[in-house]
Amino acid sequence: MKRLLLILILTLSFQSLSKADDFSDFQIEGMSIGDSLLDFVSKEKILSEIKENKEVYKHFKPKNKFGEIYITDTNTYNQISFFVKKDDPKYKIHLIRGMIRFDNNIDKCLKKKSEITKDIKNLFNNFKMRDYKVKANIDPSGRSYTLRTVFRFQKIDRIIIQCSHWEESFRIKNNFGGGISVIIQTEEIFDWFTSSS
């Protein structure tokens, strides 16, 4: 009996050390891609936020296929946003983005980005990873940018960790917050985002 118990304990220990193969195992504040947003946010808030934020996404095709909802001041993040289909009665989550502000402190942001990137590498087996820098076209000075690490999984599902750095006078003028975003998104919403380019 003791030997059976020891085998069971060892088996469970090794299972907990194994890496995940499915990016939907990754959570932000206990929420995953595919969860119903109704488990975390009221239907009234979902509908109100979709209506309030729809102008931002009206140029995507099909128009307003997804809507964005925000919650603030969670345990880890200053703000979390979600994208759901506006006509889905369960409001299944297609994108989660957790944001932490590091205004005018790109070094602190990059340190946090490095920690999160390392954690994701340790969590998963089957992914492709890419680092790159994206210039912010909306800043005429050309000094605003995003440093991004993208983990791609089986299809084109992604986890993205990025630090945004705004040129300071541009940031203040537009009331932008620099900082880190941790994003989990499905292939379907990635295709929708790229439909406008």
| Domain extent listing, the chain | 26-194
Distances (CA, A) of 116 to 5, 31, 45, 90, 158: 36, 17, 30, 30, 14
In the block, residue with structure tokens 């995953």 = 32
Question: Contact, 66 vs 192, CB < 8 A?
Answer: yes
**pLDDT of 22-38, one tens digit each?**
555 678 888 999 999 99
Give the separation between CA 109 and CA 119, rounded to whole angstroms. Answer: 16
Question: Contact, 140 vs 37, CB < 8 A?
Answer: no
Q: Which residue has the higher pLDDT, 39 or 193?
A: 39
Mean pLDDT (whole number) for 65-86: 91
In the predicted structure, residue 180 carries a pLDDT above the cut 90: yes
In the predicted structure, residue 3 carries a pLDDT above the cut 80: no
| Confidence (pTM) | 0.79
Mean pLDDT (whole number) for 165-192: 87
Q: What does the pLDDT read at residue 172? A: 83
